[in-house]
Structure 1
């Protein structure tokens, strides 16, 4: 199968969940004998094309990680030129990156879109931050929704729509009135050979964590991710557990405000801000955790950090929002809390700190679930199944597995 994939970005642009998903999926498809060409936004180093990991990658448009008219037009023109030679079997759009193909191309090629979220959910997430900036972002997104319904047009063209969580599939069906038979759920897959339990005594020693209980949180540092909520409850936790450290892994526009907040609360000696951590080192930081906490306020399709931490056999406490309930069954393989509920967040963290057997049970169940149902291999196999169904190879397709 020869696949052309459109994407807003790749890990060379930023290490976000969607960017990692695109590259891991593409590499998995290549390993199974597919040819994959990726058309994405401008490279910051002005590279126009490259070939790596047997992927053919083209960078177009005028801005990295931005959907602009120039990107849509150039991506469609490039597709036309490449298709004359490649004769693609499938066009796969990650989010609305394939809008240029929809608007400017007249080729009749099976078209699939994977949605990682919706504009309406982005608006809700921005308002959840309860900030002036959040209100401005929500207003901009609302105008975008009204004046330029790119997502509606792109979804209408799709032969099949992949949602990355059960919750997102329901939102797509309700918000866009998409027929159920057009939807399929394929969650983001995790490399369970990379994210796994491992000894990290060297890193514990390096960070001075001997005898400490460690709470870890990972992600792009923005107010919507809820890191500030962990800082707010830490003084109360320290009253009962003096030996607790909070490690926040990641970087972003809200990082300095978090550092200032830690100083203001008098907890700066109990918080470690690591900044950006390499892909190779990231599993080690998950494995530092006695608890992985992710009190996000953002309605995401399925944030990768949650199943990554679960794959490392860690007890996860996360918000009941977006696609997180697709991967966590409350009190079985993780703990779900109401978004923004400080009292519940504090109480559940302290409960797991007190109860080592509960922590162990949640971690074991979490790893087992991710290996069985949320692995990278399963994601790739189920995506190929969608391709084959759309191409009419019914004998290979069969029924979709439930998540």
Structure 2
């Protein structure tokens, strides 16, 4: 076999989906041929490109708007383009393995389309989609939950192997997914330490304030940016903090609403939304930040999901403020302080406590960086991924 891996991802374009990009580059470095099919996103990237040895095909896709029906339209368009491009790829250069990265839990259909041609299927389990819809659509999420449970079960049933992002997701695969534990590997979304190097602080980012807080990540309904903004409002109104500026880096379908919320809360002089920014700015901002925010509220999805931003804050040696989530504690341990679940006032108190104690901030930052270097970096995850693929391609005995 040519060891040609076709990776399907719908949630984000590549290379902006960092996990998929890291996996793709790792496979190429290990001698695999890698093609990725993904959406163009909002920046009108090229329809076809080869980046660092990874062949990327992109299709136009309008993100979901207007509730559940918006997702039906989005996923229908994505499935059409993904299937069309997958057939094109297979005709030009036969595929050995399809690796489908959810959401949605529909991409197994493309793998099934190619299975009669000898193609095997690996499910890269990024999100618990049933819990995602339950968390995202209050009230109306229950029906979607059971529909997506069926699709998730079919995905697990069709998979020849499963890549889980953490032990909680592995338990889902072997539990309700009924996957043989020998077919499941944990590949954490660890930060690439070559991309997270401490830079000299840039005082200009504080906008004349004494302290800087930072947020890095997606801004969707389940990401908690609204919790962070309301906590900053408490910090300013009730705790008298006028010496803090906060930079929110990233984009998402809630970004405009979050900007409007910050204005409604009277935080225009305290917060700044940059949109998506280059790595250089991320490194410079995190190197300057006194505290970093992970305001994901506790819900069925977030409690068992690994937050990439937490690991990236730790890689930059920054202390983290988080709500008390199970997987947040697994990742950060004592490199973070934890507010009771979804309590914005206590989240504000935790920020205030860290800003008052520079020695504690520095100690937490060092502990976080050590945790990343010792066992949570992408170097460790890369080895697990390549070992899994090498075993997958071993000839049958």
Match of 2:109 among 100, 125, 130: 100
Shift of 1:242: 3.4
Shift of 1:389: 1.8
Which residue in 1 is equivalent to 2:129?
A: 119
Greater mean deviation of Cα atoms: 383-392 or 306-315? 383-392
Verify: 1:273 aligned to 2:273, yes or no. yes
Match of 2:222 among 221, 224, 235: 224
Which residue in 1 is equivalent to 2:386?
A: 384
Q: Following the alignment from structure 2 to structure 1, what is the Cα–Cα distance between the partners of residues 247 and 223? A: 15
Greater mean deviation of Cα atoms: 1-10 or 386-395? 386-395
TM-score normalised according to structure 1 size: 0.81
Q: Following the alignment from structure 2 to structure 1, what is the Cα–Cα distance between the partners of residues 348 and 186? A: 33
Q: Following the alignment from structure 2 to structure 1, what is the Cα–Cα distance between the partners of residues 234 and 274? A: 23
Deviation string, structure 1 residues 340-384 (Cα, Å, up to 9, x no partner): 122432332222222222211110011111122222232222111
- Distance 1:248-1:394 versus aligned 2 partners, 3 A rule: farther
Match of 2:31 among 33, 39, 51: 33
CA RMSD in angstroms, aligned pairs only: 3.1
Which residue in 2 is equivalent to 1:328?
A: 332
Match of 2:145 among 142, 146, 149: 142
Verify: 1:193 aligned to 2:194, yes or no. yes
Which residue in 2 is equivalent to 1:401?
A: none
Q: How many matched pairs?
A: 377
1:10–1:20 Cα contact (<8 Å) kept: no
Higher relative contact order by CA 8 Å / sep ≥ 6: 1 or 2?
1
1:247-286 to 2 correspondence within 5 Å? 247-286=247-286
Matched position secondary structure for 1:277:
coil
Shift of 1:56: 1.6
Matched position secondary structure for 2:318:
coil
Which residue in 2 is equivalent to 1:163?
A: 164
Verify: 1:55 aligned to 2:54, yes or no. yes
- Distance 1:322-1:2 versus aligned 2 partners, 3 A rule: farther
Q: Which runs of 5+ in 2 are unaligned?
A: 65-72
TM-score normalised according to structure 2 size: 0.82
Which residue in 2 is equivalent to 1:152?
A: 153
Which residue in 2 is equivalent to 1:365?
A: 367
Shift of 1:339: 2.9
Q: Following the alignment from structure 2 to structure 1, what is the Cα–Cα distance between the partners of residues 267 and 11? A: 37
Shift of 1:196: 2.5
Shift of 1:41: 4.0
Which residue in 2 is equivalent to 1:288?
A: 288
- Distance 1:336-1:170 versus aligned 2 partners, 3 A rule: farther
Matched position secondary structure for 2:379:
helix
